[in-house]
Amino acid sequence: AAKDGGRGRYHFYAHDLHSDAEERRRLEDDLRDAVTHGSLELYYQPVVQTTTEKITGFEALLRWNHPVHGFISPAKFIPIAEDTGLIGPISEWALRQACNDLAQWPASVRVAVNVSALQFANPGLPGVVTSALAHAGIEADRLELEITESVFINDSEGTDAMFRALKAIGVRLALDDFGTGYSSLGYLKKAPFDKIKIDQSFVRGATQPGSRNGAIIASIVSLAEALGMETTAEGVETHDELDLVRLLGCSHVQGYIYERPLSSEAATKRLESGLVAIAHGPRAARAVR
């Protein structure tokens, strides 16, 4: 689009590039400040077991409330953190904070923490995990680490060693955003996952006539079951989507249909009111039947 408008346009484009770089540098500085001043937060989204409708755990999700720009998505600031080396301190803080918050919740509840490919390649990770668990005094199997297929890009002895080290600690492992990356069945065979998280792009539209997503979800579920793994359908927003993923046999559901990510205080209050989850997403599609 930059060249479409002829000569005059080029200057605007160059200017935009310049301010993008400047904006980015400012964001890096602000993120460094946020880490130093402890102004990042973890929010917790309930994970619900389909058969019982009980909250079996929470996924911890980073939140950055920027003093000027307001809320900035982790999808935007995690890459900045990775480029600047801030991912190390941020991830360590997130692991420790999630374990400390989990220590206040019922023993039947787990917490899942996202681990980026860069962290997964860091040999210091098992030490941080062990220390966070010990400090909070929680059992290792109450902590689940969510890993994406991107950790397999540089599949190496280091990757295998990291899987062994984490399993030796006793934490659970989940394969996040399944189906969106370099999906290969080879690593499902060798990596010791306890759960596959079915990406929300498969849930979205699955209830539309002619969609192939349902067939894909069903295949992932049967594959997971054959391998003794649980399945969480991500991003379930409507009653129809909930009915479908339940019918297709997903063992767990996560999405706005039950709850958006909550502050730790709100998550604690939510648990105090009971473990049973209540679906409150739109019912429009059903009402017109």
Q: Which position among 110, 244, 261, 277 is part of the footprint of ligand C2E (CB under 6 A)? A: 261
Select the residue whose beta carbon is closest to ligand C2E and give its number. Answer: 255
Residue 75 binds which one of ligand C2E, Mg ion, none, with CB within 5 to 8 A depending on kind?
ligand C2E
Nearer to ligand C2E, 30 or 234 (CB): 234
The 10 Å Cβ neighbour count of residue 83 is 12
> In the range 90-119, which residues lie near ligand C2E by CB under 6 A?
94, 114-116
- How buried is residue 29: exposed, middle or buried, by Cβ count under 10 Å (0-12/13-18/19+)? exposed
The 200-239 contact track toward ligand C2E, x by CB under 6 A, reads: x---------------------------------xxxx--
Dihedral Cα 120, 123, 129, 130, nearest 10 deg: 150
In this structure, is the dihedral angle defined by the CA atoms of residues 151, 152, 156 and 160, taken in order, positive or negative? positive
Enter the tokens of residue 1: 């689009």
Q: Which position among 31, 34, 35, 62 is part of the footprint of ligand C2E (CB under 6 A)? A: 62
Least gap, CB of 94 to ligand C2E (angstroms): 4
Residue 78 binds which one of ligand C2E, Mg ion, none, with CB within 5 to 8 A depending on kind?
ligand C2E
- Contact assessment for residue 237 and residue 205, using Cβ atoms and an 8 Å cutoff: no
Least gap, CB of 37 to ligand C2E (angstroms): 18
- How many CA atoms within 13 Å lie on the side-chain side of 284? 4
Q: Which position among 38, 70, 71, 75 is part of the footprint of ligand C2E (CB under 6 A)? A: 75
Number of residues binding to ligand C2E, judged by CB under 6 A: 23
Bridge partners, 46 (sequence order): 58
In this structure, is the dihedral angle defined by the CA atoms of residues 261, 264, 266 and 267, taken in order, positive or negative? positive
Query: Which alpha helices (DSSP H) does the chain contain, by range?
Result: 7-36, 74-84, 87-102, 117-120, 125-136, 157-169, 185-190, 200-203, 213-226, 239-247, 264-272, 284-287
Least gap, CB of 168 to ligand C2E (angstroms): 22
Q: Does 91 bind Mg ion (CB under 5 A)?
A: no
The 160-179 contact track toward ligand C2E, x by CB under 6 A, reads: ----------------xx--
- How many CA atoms within 13 Å lie on the side-chain side of 256? 9
Residues that bind ligand C2E (CB under 6 A): 45, 61-62, 73-75, 78, 94, 114-116, 146, 176-177, 200, 234-237, 254-256, 261
